[in-house]
């Protein structure tokens, strides 16, 4: 049995600044900065033995091998296979990887957890490359597999569309933790609210469109101040947001790092 939550303390690098993660079964990091995601993965791999971590990358596997050959490579890398999980995933071992559908390739990558001992599965934001109908199906399969094998999952999402599956949500932007939530559907940092409102369903076919632009983070103060609607309307708020990163405030059990909720000098 895995010991949960997995506590990963003091993640610090070129972009990431002193972030602590507590991953209890299903958690997620939400943010639209690729630099943050890449460095968090790298730092986690330094903290936890690589033998216990599996990664589902953003883009699907596409190698000139059979499924059976890929599974043999996983076994060589991670250890003894769990045939029950492989049967559960329903992989056709005789087929070539290049002949698989995108969802079948995803299941092949998920099968890494069936080898050796998995403590943590890192799931990159592959949702952007999947058809809409397959996204929920893929997430449900990851969660069911995690429950069968008792490992933790850390999703990386670029918006709030799928956070309902996550017990713990970390909103990270510009290398800093802006908000932390446990089993909450409400968010209070302006960046969190922007991510939550950034996808709308319109038209008869529920087509999704992005309605808010968020570019590169600022290096001083709050990394979101260039795009914050509150800052644009309040000159006093602007002065402090561009110069100082805010302290932690507790808003309805969420940890929020925003000058809207913190005393200003």
pLDDT digits (tens, 9 = 90+) for 119-167: 999 999 887 778 778 889 999 999 999 999 999 999 999 889 899 999 9
pLDDT digits (tens, 9 = 90+) for 206-249: 454 444 678 899 999 999 999 999 999 999 999 999 999 999 99
Whole-number pLDDT of residue 265:
64
pLDDT band (50, 70, 90) for residue 183: confident
State how far the Cα of 68 lies from the Cα of 73, in Å rounded to an integer: 9
Q: What are the structure tokens assigned to 68, written together?
A: 């059976």
Boundaries of every domain in the chain: 6-185
pLDDT band (50, 70, 90) for residue 72: very high
Please state the CATH superfamily assignment of the domain spanning residues 6-185 in this structure: P-loop containing nucleotide triphosphate hydrolases (3.40.50.300)
pLDDT digits (tens, 9 = 90+) for 30-65: 998 778 989 999 999 999 999 999 999 888 888 899
Q: Residue 227 carries which DSSP code?
A: G
Q: What is the pTM of this model?
A: 0.91
What phi and psi, each to the nearest 5 degrees, are found at residue 131? -65, 150
Residue 210: partners with Cβ closer than 8 Å, 6 or more residues away? 198, 199
Instruction: Single out the residue of 55, 59, 75 nearest to residue 151, CA to CA.
Output: 55
């Amino acid at each position: 049995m895995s010991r949960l939550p997995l506590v990963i303390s003091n993640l610090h690098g070129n972009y990431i600044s002193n972030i602590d993660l507590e991953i209890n079964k299903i958690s997620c990091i939400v943010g639209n900065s690729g630099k943050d995601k890449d460095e968090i993965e790298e730092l986690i791999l330094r903290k936890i033995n690589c033998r216990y971590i599996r990664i589902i990358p953003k883009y699907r596997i596409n190698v000139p091998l059979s499924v059976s050959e890929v599974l043999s490579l996983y076994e060589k890398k991670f250890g003894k296979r769990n045939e029950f999980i492989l049967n559960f995933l329903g992989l056709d071992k005789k087929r070539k990887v290049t002949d698989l559908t995108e969802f079948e390739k995803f299941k092949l990558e998920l099968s890494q957890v069936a080898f050796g001992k998995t403590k943590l599965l890192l799931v990159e934001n592959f949702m952007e490359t999947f058809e809409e109908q397959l996204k929920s199906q893929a997430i449900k399969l990851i969660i069911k597999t995690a429950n069968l094998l008792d490992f933790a999952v850390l999703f990386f999402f670029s918006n709030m569309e799928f956070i309902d599956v996550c017990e713990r949500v970390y909103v990270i932007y510009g290398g800093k933790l802006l908000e932390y939530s446990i089993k909450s559907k409400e968010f209070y940092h302006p960046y969190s609210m922007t991510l939550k409102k950034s996808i709308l369903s319109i038209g008869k076919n529920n087509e999704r469109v992005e309605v808010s632009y968020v570019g590169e983070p600022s290096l001083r103060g709050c990394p979101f101040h260039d795009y914050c609607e509150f800052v644009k309307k309040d000159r006093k708020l602007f002065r402090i947001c561009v110069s100082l990163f805010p302290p932690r405030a507790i808003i309805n059990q969420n940890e929020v790092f925003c000058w809207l909720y913190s005393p200003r000098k």
